[in-house]
Structure 1
Amino acid sequence: MIKMFTDAATKGNPGPTGLGILIIRDGQQEQLTSQLPCASNHQGEFAAAQFGFDYLVKHHFNNEPILFYTDSRLLSDSIGKAYSKHYQEQLSQLLNSIDQLGTVVTQWVPESQNHGAHHLANQALHQLERH
């Protein structure tokens, strides 16, 4: 079983955005980061999830159940309903990636339970700000 946590950190809204992805499999952690030069926080949350699911697809984790955790209610609700009023294009891309994997269970968690991904997103944001 794979656990994946994602988060985005944005300075300004919109503004520079750091993405953090924490993947836990067999007790091992994979820490991924990326950046967007300018995005809203919601766009960042979708982008972080997309980055994480693309990584899982690319590394052929399609036969393992995946527990996906996000502290974005908008993201978790959108995935659950397969609908987003303002982010349908990003959601469609995300659902396409999710469909390439096996069982994926999405769960909203409070920010206090998403420290790993939150820390990685902030690290990515700070790196972006220094350049």
Structure 2
Amino acid sequence: MLRIYVDAATKGNPGPSAGGIVLVGDRLHEQIHVQLGECSNHEAEFKVFIKALQLVIEKDLNEQTVLIHSDSKIVVQTIEKRHAKNPIFQPYLYTFQQLESSFQLLLVKWVPESQNKGADTLARQALHKYQ
């Protein structure tokens, strides 16, 4: 099983944004930070979520059970309900649905911020680095 932890950081809302991704699996522990451009904090959470899934596919790690953790209730609820009330989030949901078909089994789980410190730290470091 591959576990993914994602989080985003934004300076301002909207403002410059960055994300942190932690991949944990058998003999794997990788920490990645990414720049996400100018966006709102919720958009940044969606962007890092999508980026993490794209990275897993690029690394050919999607043929196993994948559990992705996010502390964003908006992202997790949108994915679970398969519906985005906010039209700005609809393209992210659509992209997720396209990517989901590339996975053997993909599970999404909300975690409290206290259980997502690694990804949070990476996101904050990335935000500071890219400014």
| Cα distance in 2, alignment partners of residues 4 and 27 from structure 1 | 14
Equivalent residue of 1:104, what SS? strand
TM-score of the superposed pair, with normalisation by structure 2: 0.94
Deviation at 1:6, TM superposition (A): 0.4
Residues matched between the structures, number = 129
What CA RMSD, in Å, does the superposition of the two structures yield over aligned residues? 1.0
Q: If the length of structure 1 is used for normalisation, what is the TM-score?
A: 0.94
Query: 1:31 corresponds to which residue?
Result: 31
Q: Which residue of 2 aligns with 1:105?
A: 107
- Superposition pairs of residues 44-123 of structure 1, within 5 angstroms: 44-86=44-86, 87-123=89-125
Which amino acid in structure 1 is aligned with residue 53 of structure 2? F
Q: Distance in 1 between matches of 2:44 and 2:71?
A: 12
Deviation at 1:66, TM superposition (A): 0.7
8 A Cα contact 2:7 2:119, kept in partner: yes
Deviation at 1:56, TM superposition (A): 0.8
The one-letter code of the counterpart of 1:59 is K
Letter in 2 for 1:16: P
Per-residue deviation, 1:27 = 4.4
Moved more, 74-83 or 56-65: 56-65
Give the drift of 1:111.
0.3
5+ residue gaps, structure 2, are: none
Runs of 4 or more, structure 1, over 3 Å off, are none
Any gaps of 5 or more consecutive residues in structure 1?
none
For the 8 Å contact 2:36–2:48, the answer to whether it is kept is no
The 1-side partners of 2:83 and 2:102 are apart by 18
